[in-house]
Chain A
């Protein structure tokens, strides 16, 4: 079993943050790519992160050696596939420190997780019931609730953000009353990088008996997550943003809350007994995993978790902060650069606009220098409206990025400005 293989302790704790990129870059084959004749500088990690060889191999090895449908048959390959799939669930449990593996549902990603919850939780909600979102949510944590609002007439309340890009927590208690059914909030903003105080939010919400859903997509690549310590009720994330494969993610839910949810999709494997008169549904998590599961994805996700466990995450986070500081200082030194998101507690994400340069032109010109960034609204149009801009450029970093790459970004911005102004 590949995912169960013992991994040598190549990188122990106690790394110096600066040594991290040199140690890990050889693990990521794509970082050796050339773009436009130049070494790739990949700063679009918040869109998707790159994959270490361990993940690529785990997925390929599943198809080469262990491929079978999980939970379906008694032959040897089916047994291997099933064991690996359930072992992956246990890895995810450990990764977020859930109390039980039965609290982990494999889904396609964060978007599907939130849609599942809007569907399941919203079943009993009525017109006038309220869900509280925040002004910095990704469309994935806005549109599912709007779809529910169209069906049921619920109310959507929005917790505002400050100009610096922090939640106005003082406004939260006023939005919590007997009609409030859920607070749904991002852990880390994909645009601003702001790390939100989830434990504080759950404390406030729980004081009013309101459960909390956390969109963890942007948090899991950068920090250790402990769902029990934060006491959130639901937590969801996507594998591909944390160095795992696309098409797989996980939803954590407290056992009693998952048990109260209706099925999401109907089909094979989510039942205990089917007759034409009546069907009995399986208990969570199988209740929410209808049809053939993305076993290779789950196994790849487990490989990503294993890979992260070989890193000193505190040192990696310190290195990421050094990257963020260098980029911020570099942009400030250029002048004429507006940075969106100035929270003191930030993930290594930096959204900005260069005076006189449209974000899209900047994106194309940076690409000509081998630098990959995201341009556009970042699936957060309400936040763009708040700042009164149509689009920004976003550089988002990971632990494998280097300070030299940050310097190449700053040089490329200077070049683009020279071309366009």
Chain B
């Protein structure tokens, strides 16, 4: 049987999902940065008794409320698109991580309510400013928690972890799978996205402030946007600095846990190349250009508020650090990478200097430009990560074999006791007990790669050590594991 599936005209299923997912990412990624900057602006405004920061925070939050709904609806479109175009994959993933998604949905409701109340009751809570700031400050951790949940699923799709996650998926784990959720790249993806979102949100706020500075405004409004630009640009810059470092370790994880994706990225293969362009390189050019621009900005920035400026020695140190970092990247990858990144950083720096001097010391044009580039960087980062990933599950795999077997059809959609449903046919060969034990027990603290890389043969001692560290392992189980490892059997 050759299963049919819904075709999306013109774009095709893959590009429709990609386009919708990236549209959602573009908006949803702003949430953390916006919430964070709103809180900081409110706190500064409260402590300094400076109304302009509060005004700025209110305007950012209004923009946030408006775009938040766009993000929500695009997410709904993504869900509908996936369930229609990739029903097998989506249903599997959904049932596999149902409780993760339901918790995420609950947080979604909590966030929507908190965000709405925070903005629409701004003036009503004027006499309770601390409470209002607290309400706004709740948004950042809630947003972080929400997107950690999504990262668990997103990370799993890229690095299911030596087939353990894939196996648990095909064995029909229901609702929650800790092993799949805390997959190898979860931590790095989460760290990278956290800082990237703060940076992206900050640069976009600075960009919006810059755009507003182009308009004729009164002195107070102008001061508000200038302060907003300084504040958010500084926050975004600090977050940006961590990204190449975290990204390096992220790629290290991919090298071992998702080698095909790593090769696609580093060697420019698969969908990473689209239209003859290596989009991963373009993303890195954007990052290098942003580093050059932001360092130059802080070098020449002459702001009255010293809290958002940097001493020259710090800027030089950061510049040197990243020069060495990119040199080491050049050594690992290719020197072409180093020279081109250096060239783009220098071009970015020169452009930043020109823009600031052209606008008579006002960084407004620079804010707008960096805001646009940060948007492009987020889009390209999201695109190449997904494009590098080998296809997770075929669009409609196994429908005819396992999804709706005739003998199970009477049980579908009927409120029956699930225990009465006949067991599903075995999709994959069940691994031996030893393999199962190694996968379950060892991975609690470290990756299986570490076990594989161990060269000595004193497994008894190693297993005893692990038990001394706290591994719960019965003596018989320990013997099974030791025997398997001694015989150098695959796992």
A binds B: no
B interface residue numbers (CB < 8 A to A): none
